Every structure is written in structure tokens, then in C-alpha cells.
Amino acid sequence: MEESQTLHKITSDMTIGEVVKLYPQCIEIMLSYGLHCVGCGSNTMETLYEGSAGHGMPDDIFQEMLEHLNDAIIEIEGKTLTITAKASEKILELLKKNTKESYGLRIQVIKGGCAGKEYKFSFEEEPKEGDEVIVAGDVKVFVDAESGHYLKGSLVDYLESLEESGFRVSNPNSSHSCGCGKSFT
């Protein structure tokens, strides 16, 4: 392979929906470039390029965004999961509320739910042997090796809306989730 060739994981002909599913960490980047199609119902039918062109994005800015997206996924490769600032703040708030400031949050993937697997969140004082410890802001998150396999590349966020509030895991390894969104396969 020539040095001048660049391999990109995100390409202009991928649908916006594919990028959102495979690389949820890229949502904020697309939004920062004015590509608000990430939540649109047609994002599974529209490519990155089509969506960008439809919103009047010049080709040079599109190429800049594409490079930024690919830089971001290189940065997250190898990480088990990414914790957003909002999720980190909420974890810290909950730790303080429960007078467990020195504890960490354990995120596990366990059998259960209507789709076969579900996420379990709990506070633990120390990581267990073999755990990966992820530091996010002022909090620690513990993930065991088996759960890490299922969580690889995931994004943990905290959402608050009129309909619901809670932690949301955007998992690119999930092939199917149930109607309530609490379990996956």
C-alpha cells in the first residue's frame, strides 16, 4: 500500500444512520457541522454526502468533517467505552447523594431482558481483579472483561427529557434491541 493512501472507516457513501449506529461518539461532531440528520427518520436512506449537500455544506467543509469523523474513531478504537461529560456529572452526583464519593460505577452486561442481554449499573468501592478501570472526569467506571467484549466502542450518556431520564448506552455491537430499549442482542 502506498503511503499516500488513507484508509477511512467512515466514507461519504455511508448512510447517516450507519455512522450513528457504528460510531455514536461521532454524533456531536456531525451536529457541530450543522448536520442535524442524526435523529431524522430518513437518516437510514441518506448518505453522509447527500445529507451534507442537502443542507448546503460546501465540499471542502464536508471533507473537513469527514476527516474529523475519522480522526475521532481512531481516537476511540481500542476503548471499551466512552463516558460523556453529562454522564460523568450524573454519576458523581449520584455517588455524592449516596455518600459513596470514593466508589466507582460498575457497568455490566448480564443475561436478561426481552432481547437476551441487559445493562446493569451498580456502585462498588473497588474494581475486581481483571476489571478495566475507565476514568471519566472525577469518576471511575469498572468493566469486567466479558462485559467489555459486548461494550467495545460504546458511548454512555445521561439523558433527561419529558418522557424519560437515565443512562443510555449507544452500543455499536447491538444487532437488535427490544421495544423498551432496555435490552439487546
pLDDT at 92 over 80: yes
167 versus 114: which is more confidently predicted? 167
**The three-state (H, E, C) secondary structure of 153-173, written as one string:** CEEEEEEECCCCEEEEEECCC
Q: How far is CA 22 from the centre of its chain?
A: 9
| Residue 142 lies in domain | 81-184
Q: Are 132 and 60 part of one and the same domain?
A: no
Overall pTM > 0.75: no
pLDDT at 2 over 60: no
Q: Are 50 and 136 part of one and the same domain?
A: no
Q: What is the number of alpha carbons within 13 Å of residue 125 lying toward its C-beta?
A: 1
Quick one: pLDDT at residue 116?
83
With a pLDDT cut of 90, the percent of the chain lying above it is: 45
Q: Which of 36, 51, 76 is the last residue of a domain?
A: 76
| C-alpha gyration radius of the chain | 18
Q: Are 114 and 69 part of one and the same domain?
A: no
For residues 48-52, average pLDDT: 93
53 versus 155: which is more confidently predicted? 53
Q: Which of 50, 76, 102 is the last residue of a domain?
A: 76
CA–CA distances in Å: residue 87 to residues 73, 81, 102, 127 = 20, 12, 17, 19
Neighbours of 100 (CB within 10 A): 14
pLDDT at 83 over 80: yes
178 versus 140: which is more confidently predicted? 140
Cell of 136: 471519566
Q: Is residue 127 part of a domain?
A: yes
Q: Over the stretch 142-166, which tens digit does the pLDDT of each residue have?
A: 999 999 989 988 889 888 877 778 8
Q: Is residue 156 part of a domain?
A: yes
Neighbours of 115 (CB within 10 A): 18
Strand partners for 183: 118
Q: Are 174 and 133 part of one and the same domain?
A: yes
The enclosing domain of 140 has a CATH number of: 2.60.300.12
Q: Are 44 and 133 part of one and the same domain?
A: no
